[in-house]
Amino acid sequence: YAVEKNKHCFLEKPICVDAVGYRTIIAAAKQAQAKNLRVVTGTQRHHQRNYVESYQKIMEGTIGEITGGVVYWNQNMLWYRDRQPGWNDFEYMVR
């Protein structure tokens, strides 16, 4: 849609989760290239100051050696979906 409207595209990860999505992105990128537009991807919070500072502290050994970890991030109900009957693990993870 954006490329059709002659707009550059910034896409946040994941840009696709299946083959159909992949083909759509590749087609859009080729369209964009023909129009001298850019399609680029980003990584969530890659440059966010507190994330970068936390990473630096970890790499400096401020909190000691990390030997393992478990992370859950359910920010709010906007992104949470109850698992529906019949969904396999993949369907549940990407919905």
Q: Does residue 74 have a pLDDT over 70?
A: no
- Across residues 7-33, what is the average pLDDT? 90
Phi, psi of 33 (to 5 degrees): -60, -40
pLDDT band at 82 (very low <50, low <70, confident <90, very high): confident
State the Cα–Cα distance between residues 26 and 32, nearest whole angstrom. Answer: 10
Radius of gyration of the chain (CA): 19
- pLDDT at res. 33: 94
- Across residues 3-11, what is the average pLDDT? 91
What b/e string do you get for 63-89 counting C-beta neighbours within 10 Å, with b at 16 or more? eeeeeeeeeeeeeeeeeeeeeeeeeee
- pLDDT at res. 70: 84
Element (H, E) at 91: helix 89-94
State the Cα–Cα distance between residues 3 and 13, nearest whole angstrom. Answer: 18
Q: Does residue 69 have a pLDDT over 70?
A: yes
Higher-pLDDT residue of 31, 78: 31
- Across residues 47-65, what is the average pLDDT? 90
